[in-house]
Amino acid sequence: MELQELLDRITREYRAVLGRKFCGLYLHGSAALGGFHPGRSDLDFLAVVDRPPHICEKLRLLGFLCALSPQGPKKGIEMSVVLASVCQRPVLDMPFELHYSPMWRELCESDPLRLCITAGRTDPDLPAHFRVARERGKALFGPPPDEIFAPVPDGLYRESVYLDLRASREELGGDAASVLLNLCRTLAFEREGFLLSKAGGGEWALNNLGLRDPAPLRRALDCCIGGLPMEADSACEQLCGELMGLLGIE
């Protein structure tokens, strides 16, 4: 399914299910940053509501996403439903009303009610998502993103992003290109304040970092742009260590 058709279906369904409590639907991630590739990217979006959705509404959304996922991008769909009031008060551990990602698809199909019980649950990735949504995101429905999402301070954005980066070495074997490019775009933010796609981060790094061996990064970019897998080797491991060192991550 083409991206625009997919987005139109999602927007229609969320409007139908959430009704008057639905404030807006916002793209972030690669589809907003210009690096989306259906063979390699996932589709990231945030749904904003002015009051908590009912259990039956959550179940309808989960059923819809489970059915839609095979027709979407190869890496799947990731989304969170959040309260508008939460979007105005960013903190590290932000509460959410519903979350769906490929990691939870099996549970969504076998016991979706468990995913609907979110009281007390938080997500430290949300501050980073909110900042990208505010500064680079696209409104599929609702007012402009900067009217929904409060500014996320640099320090909070950094905390949110670095939680994942610390496991970069361990994750190289699963998705080497994604890991390397993610480190690069974080360096672009640290040094110049840029919010870039993974491919944009890789291109920035090639032009600005003076890496000891840029070959693995060029390979990562080729894989990212072409939607191809990339296997980690010793050169990838060395580059990963170099990038983490530049970020001050041990």
Quick: pLDDT tens for 207-232.
999 999 999 999 999 988 887 888 89
Stretch 9-22: mean pLDDT, rounded?
98
pLDDT score at 25: 98
Q: Following DSSP, what letter does each residue of 110-171 receive, concatenated?
A: H-HHHHH--TT-EETTHHHHHHHHHHH-EEEESS-HHHHSPPPPHHHHHHHHHHHHTTHHHH
Stretch 169-196: mean pLDDT, rounded?
92
pLDDT score at 225: 82
Q: Following DSSP, what letter does each residue of 54-96 receive, concatenated?
A: PHHHHHHHHHHHHHHGGGS-TT-EEEEEEEHHHHTS--SSEE-
Distance CA(133)–CA(115), nearest Å, equals 24
* Average pLDDT value for the chain: 93
Stretch 136-143: mean pLDDT, rounded?
97
pLDDT score at 192: 96
Distance CA(191)–CA(188), nearest Å, equals 5
Q: Name the percent of the chain lying above pLDDT 70.
A: 100
Quick: pLDDT tens for 76-103.
999 999 999 999 999 999 999 999 998 8
Check pLDDT > 80 for residue 40: no
